[in-house]
Amino acid sequence: MPYLGAPFDEDGDPQGLLDAIDVMVSRSPEHLLHGHELLTRNFSSPLILSHLKTDLAWLRAQVLTAIRRGDERAATRTNSSLRRFLIKQAITALGSITFVNISFPTP
């Protein structure tokens, strides 16, 4: 999968990710090996990737629209339709994702 980049840098290639998903789906492989065990476990079929692409493309379009409007970054992150979308995706994914126990310092 192409590198998306860190959220605080301007590196990565989101369109490259969407294009790579198209290539993988069109080839309809029997097995997908991503290079990271959790990605391989959770995105194990072309069908799952095609659903992921649909969601990522929608999210990207929403963020690009906000950027073109000149919205502040904080306003984009607190946008209610984006928040509902992300919460829905997280709830949907809970059934298929294996969680790793990671501790984060409290601010």
Q: What phi and psi values does residue 12 have, to the nearest 5 degrees?
A: 95, 175
Quick one: pLDDT at residue 99? 45
What is the distance, to the nearest Å, from the Cα of residue 2 to the centroid of all Cα atoms in its chain? 12
Q: Is 91 left (phi over 0), alpha (psi -120 to 50) or beta?
A: alpha
Q: What is the pLDDT along the chain (107 residues), one digit of tens a residue?
A: 555 666 566 677 788 888 888 998 999 888 888 777 877 887 888 888 888 888 888 888 888 898 899 988 888 877 777 777 777 766 665 555 444 444 445 55
